[in-house]
Structure 1
Amino acid sequence: MPADVASVLVDGPWQHRLVSANGARFHVAELGEGPLVLLLHGFPQFWWAWRDQLPALADAGYRAAAMDLRGFGASDKPPRGYDTFTLAADAASVVRSLGASSAVVVGHGMGAWIAWSMPSMQPDVTRAIATLAMPHPLALRRAGAVLHPRQLRSHTRLAGLQRPSVPERQMTRDSRYVARLLRGWSAPGSGWPPGDVVQRYADAMALPFVAHSAAEYYRWVVRSQWRSDGRRFRNRLARTIGVPVLHVRGGVDRAVARGSGGGSDRFVSGPFEEHVLDGVGHFVHEEAPDAVNGLLLPWLDRLP
């Protein structure tokens, strides 16, 4: 097990920074100059998931900043604050701490869940959003409510994260939990991820307090449904999104069943663009980086 967070400060053309935002300290890998694009990773990952997008965005004239979400990587890991309201405030505060008044927010998985929330929770800093492998949260909840069979199978992993202490032990004991999840959610037979990628993510998940923080994200998603904060979340997310939205999903995503991924456009009143990548699983930007970059960069260039 890595002794400290040095293992996640992976060398590359980017610059590593620590910024204070929303009462915590966040690690950001930054590259390029121009309009800010904030990149939010998913589970079980950290900022390094965007290693193929950072140089592409910088070369295209953007300032790309991939942050470690609260509780992950080299960012602070406080015991609380894993509700979506706080996580959206984290992202907005990081944008301001980087000296920008607004940003395009790009997220994958749980990072996309946060990105979907930004236009209603943090509208002043949200110029546009791009969401990868995650439908609008209310569309996803509706799919679960109607018991879509493939989505129910995906929800078994979500249910497993609700158990006290058990998932934390599973995630930190060895690399098998992370390996099963990465391979189980990626395209079958694709060969992704290779062993070195599995080990890097497993090492990052084994850092102190990361596994607990990761589980807390999903515990809030489930448990808030029957509480007042869950009702506030649903009411806030029911507001239509007026900023441009790019939505990209894999055609064989086994984390979010294809039949449950539709309907996000009903929550968008602004320009909406959706693409399905055939033969690609949940980790679209890593399994098919060229295809994702080929969609993301022209979309960014077309933004007002």
Structure 2
Amino acid sequence: MVWLKFDLRTDDHEGLLAAASASSAVLPVYCIDYSQLTFLLHTPAGPEALVEALLKLRRELQQMGSDLVVAPGPWEECLPALAMKVGARAVIAEEEVEFKRQASIGVLEGLSTQGIQAYHWSADVWPNSAFTPNYRAWKRQRPQHNKPLDAPANMPAVPAGMPAGEIPSASGLRAALKSYQQSLQPHPAIADMAAATQDATEHSTESQDAKQLLSSGQKWLSFLQLYLSSSSVPQGNSGVPAVEGTQDPSKALSVEQVAGMVQQFETPSAEGASFPKLFATALLLGILSRRRVYHEAMSKASRSLPTRAAALTAESADFHWQLARQSEPWPFAMPDTVQRKHWRWQGFMTDYCEARPAAGKANPGAPAILLVHGFGAFGDHWRSNLQPLADQGFQVFAPTFPGFGRSEKAAVPYSQVLWSNFLRDFIVQVVGRPVVVAGNSIGGFISTSMAADNPTLVEGLALLNSAGPIDGSFSIEQWEEEARTKTAPPKWIVQLVTNALFWYLERTIPGTLKWLYPTAPDRADAWLAQEIYRSACDSGSVAVFASVFYLPPPRALNYMINELYKKPTLLLTGGLDPLNDAKGRTSELSALSPDAMVKVLEAGHCPHDEQPEQINKGLLEFINGRVLSKAMAGSTS
């Protein structure tokens, strides 16, 4: 059996090639498991792209003498039943790293106990034997990239009497996924937000472009070739190029049309953003492999914006996939109940830490706790808070923002809006219930922004030395006018200042960290400095740093807390913060937000890591005394 999951292609598929050469009978299988496919509702033209991919895959397999067997049902039930039915000797599947998809590991282990051999494969762009977690070192020492593989010329027939199964319509699949999601009976706030974000995705520009591509009958590989050629289109050329894979030339997209798609997504703050915007769906479903994208881009003589964008996206995706696969253990004691997991957001790899209470110790009905890191940090920075908070009955999450830590640093326009949306989607798609959110530094400002715009998702807000303006005379009308009229500095100035600052900060990481930890400089240890440096070496990290020059004007913290969020708030401040007058800022914010609970500690800019016991105590007092008591009072009334 060849188990197809998110590798929906016949070319560059080591699993199909290995099966074709090793067996006289091969069963290509796809299971429609709704629990694994709800992400399609948050993916541009997700259900439509999946259905098209399955139909195309079936046609190509039939041309090779095989077929695609489509079976409905959970992976855990579908695969073992099919394997037993045909007497499979082996199952071949692509390797997975994302936490939710790792259910496949359990399925394959279960088959192994039945005497069915399990094999994994992956389409790495570079040999993984050369991999090192430092991007710069990896790029210096890596060999020539692996070439994509051709599709098998022929495939053995499927076992006799095996029904192929029905591929659903796109509208039927979308409806079924929505129905399945509703059947899970999520918290009403989660259900409402999921519906709203799914509707926004379905009607987004990215979805319209993807649907236009699908309706044209062109293959994604043909679309990639058009994209890579789009920068050399003469003005006024609306002719249809001779590109392989177009079923109906009259409906085919022209190079000029694709060039227009490229331009609508390119911005000064994110050069190359058009590629992930246009091809995220194809990469997510494995219709195009990272290896194919990289090879096609590098085969072009021109190093135009589209070719650079495609190559860098594939390179970064491959690096972070390998980084996730070879995730290193923590070099300090961490309970087994704390895990580092991986999740794709809008197609990009991100990671998060999760801690669960011990069996029987959970606090039923309590919100989860979401811990949000600051600029340049990552989820693991909450290393000393995760388990102590979980020990009190709470499920605790600490995600890493896109662009930081071990998360992918794709070419996207980074801003407080993007990071706020990431937190919103993380709560909806990963946590699955409302949270108490605690944010440090810029993470405090992003947490406040997310809570202000999505108050039903947040039961309590804790700010630890939060960034963001405090302004008693803040006017939303004036802010909206500034947001409309703000202009970014010239690109050459941004690049000059960014490179100089980045060069300086990168070389002063250990000393800067100890300066930020005035009462416990030893807590700013070698591991923390090394992880921040490792992240700074990643492809795209300089662009993330440069994003500060393009950020829209921020709303005032007091406005967002008082006028939009209007729920329990804690100002938990390290009063010795060397970056600013933290005590003065806390006093000013508490005067403007009189309902906020205030606690000032003897600590610096990162009090959660410098004095974790005091922060844990302060958070628990706030949650038990203000958040849960308010929830109980509301339910009684």
TM-based fold match above 0.5 = yes
Q: 2:460, 2:496 → 1: CA distance?
A: 32
Per the alignment, residue 567 of structure 2 pairs with 243
Q: 2:538, 2:505 → 1: CA distance?
A: 10
TM-score by length of 1: 0.77
Deviation of 1:139 after TM superposition, in Å, equals 1.0
Is 2:494 aligned against 1:164? no
Verify the 8 A CA contact 1:241 1:268 in the aligned structure 2. no
1:110 aligned to which of 425, 442, 460:
442
Is 2:620 aligned against 1:297? yes
Per the alignment, residue 157 of structure 1 pairs with none
Deviation of 1:193 after TM superposition, in Å, equals 1.8
Per the alignment, residue 153 of structure 1 pairs with none
Per the alignment, residue 600 of structure 2 pairs with 276
Per the alignment, residue 219 of structure 1 pairs with 549
1:262 aligned to which of 587, 592, 606:
587
Deviations 1:70-93 (A, max 9, x none): 201232322223221221111010
RMSD: 3.3
Verify the 8 A CA contact 2:427 2:433 in the aligned structure 1. yes
Deviation of 1:96 after TM superposition, in Å, equals 0.9
Deviations 1:212-262 (A, max 9, x none): 31442x3345xx34xxxx579997677353111111111210112233343
Residues 91-100 or 31-40, more deviating: 31-40
Verify the 8 A CA contact 1:184 1:254 in the aligned structure 2. yes
Gap regions ≥5 residues in structure 1: 143-159
Per the alignment, residue 91 of structure 1 pairs with 423
Flag the 1:8–1:109 CA change in 2: closer, same or farther, 3 A. farther
Q: 2:529, 2:562 → 1: CA distance?
A: 37
Deviation of 1:170 after TM superposition, in Å, equals 3.7
Per the alignment, residue 40 of structure 2 pairs with none
Flag the 1:129–1:203 CA change in 2: closer, same or farther, 3 A. same
Is 2:134 aligned against 1:2? yes
What does residue range 1-304 of structure 1 map to in structure 2 within 5 Å?
A: 2-3=134-135, 5=323, 9-11=328-330, 12=334, 13=336, 14-22=338-346, 24-33=348-357, 35-134=367-466, 137-139=468-470, 163-172=497-506, 176-187=507-518, 190-216=521-547, 218-221=548-551, 224-225=552-553, 239-258=563-582, 259-266=584-591, 268=593, 271-278=595-602, 280-302=603-625, 303=627, 304=631
TM-score by length of 2: 0.39
Equivalent position amino acid for 1:27 in 2: D
Q: 1:202, 1:8 → 2: CA distance?
A: 17
SS in structure 2 opposite 1:98? helix
Verify the 8 A CA contact 1:139 1:262 in the aligned structure 2. no
For the pair shown, the structure with the greater C-alpha radius of gyration is 2
Equivalent position amino acid for 1:84 in 2: Q
Deviation of 1:205 after TM superposition, in Å, equals 2.7
Verify the 8 A CA contact 1:107 1:115 in the aligned structure 2. yes
Flag the 1:52–1:128 CA change in 2: closer, same or farther, 3 A. same
Residues 78-87 or 60-69, more deviating: 78-87
Equivalent position amino acid for 1:295 in 2: G
SS in structure 1 opposite 2:377? coil
Verify the 8 A CA contact 2:472 2:558 in the aligned structure 1. no
Q: 2:471, 2:517 → 1: CA distance?
A: 19
Verify the 8 A CA contact 1:22 1:90 in the aligned structure 2. no
Residues 117-126 or 91-100, more deviating: 117-126
Q: 2:349, 2:382 → 1: CA distance?
A: 20
Which is richer in strand?
1
**Which structure is higher in RCO with an 8 Å CA cutoff and minimum separation 6?**
1
Verify the 8 A CA contact 1:119 1:243 in the aligned structure 2. no
Q: 1:58, 1:206 → 2: CA distance?
A: 33
Verify the 8 A CA contact 1:38 1:106 in the aligned structure 2. yes
Residues 231-240 or 85-94, more deviating: 231-240
Deviation of 1:123 after TM superposition, in Å, equals 1.8
Deviations 1:98-147 (A, max 9, x none): 14132111111111111121222222312211111116x231799xxxxx
Give the % identical residues: 20
SS in structure 2 opposite 1:57? helix
Q: 1:25, 1:180 → 2: CA distance?
A: 30
Flag the 1:53–1:212 CA change in 2: closer, same or farther, 3 A. same
Flag the 1:56–1:189 CA change in 2: closer, same or farther, 3 A. closer
Per the alignment, residue 154 of structure 1 pairs with none
Deviation of 1:297 after TM superposition, in Å, equals 1.6
Flag the 1:41–1:139 CA change in 2: closer, same or farther, 3 A. same
